[in-house]
Amino acid sequence: MKIVVTGTAGRIGRAIHFNLCRDHQVVGIDRALSSATSHVGNINNYDFLASALEGANAVIHTAAHHAPHVGIVDDDEFVNTNIMGTKTVVRAMREHGIRILVFTSTTALYGHASRNPDSAVWLDEHSEPLPKSIYHRTKLATEAYLESEASDDLRVTTLRMSRCFPEPAPLMAAYRLHRGVDARDVAEGHRLALQLGGEHYRKFILSGTTPFEPSDCELLKTDTASVLQLRCPSLCRLFAERNWALPKSVDRVYDSSQAQSVLGWAPKFGFEDVPKLLDAGICEVLPAEAAGTNISE
């Protein structure tokens, strides 16, 4: 297949490009030059986009302004890139008869829905998003637009990926249990979504496999250590060996079981992989002593 990937200068776009390029012809699009970018330009430029899409069989659309841009980039720019840019992508796809679109979205759009003072919140594809920021609102609006456009001529799969930032190892490892995912697993989810048939529009959460159960939610908020000892003693042993402090509280659990059952997606890189990356000096994983990220999901 010839597959166009937008946003290939970003971490997820690059991971997707790497996953696909061994078996497919991949065209990378971004405003910034990168090793995975073959066409440099703006997705709002229709002529540029139409040229890049020539002869393509599918599009994976990751290009967007993200959480770190909130408060730095004007809200109008979020709308212009995240919503209007997607509309330009769809227009160009229709012009070229491209019928497969995989859209990279985010679990961040659940926003306030992930906050409960008394209990962790169990979130899946049926949970109602309560967006907090312009980033959340534009992602949610784009999802709604794509659902309205999906048809026999345009099959759309939306993938809501969970937290996937470079951050201190203990934080990243713990998040892999309930609200985090490895970029390589995200890329594999996109590859599988290209093959999905059936309904015109589908959406899935991509997040690491959780050992927790919905019945754990109250204790996860108030007595996280006891739940971890019960559900994931191997993580507790890892943290003890590394002299890392266990999380004091868990506020949400993203349930990716639908992606696993329908897409056949199976996350390979869980919490056990984090210390391996740290010890190998991979810059995606920061030392435990490093300051935590301010990026909010």
Average pLDDT over residues 51-73: 90
Q: Just give the CATH number of 2-116+123-166+181-209+252-269.
A: 3.40.50.720
Q: In the predicted model, is pLDDT for residue 142 greater than 70? A: yes
Backbone angles phi, psi at 285, to 5 degrees: -115, 120
pLDDT band for position 293 (cuts 50, 70, 90): low
Average pLDDT over residues 236-258: 96
Average pLDDT over residues 56-80: 89
pLDDT of residue 296: 54
Domain extents in the chain: 2-116+123-166+181-209+252-269
pLDDT of residue 114: 85
Average pLDDT over residues 25-51: 95
Whether residue 27 contacts residue 54, with contact meaning beta carbons closer than 8 Å, is answered with no
Share of the chain above pLDDT 70, in %: 98
CA angle 212, 255, 158 (to 5 degrees): 165
pLDDT of residue 73: 84
Q: In the predicted model, is pLDDT for residue 163 greater than 80? A: yes
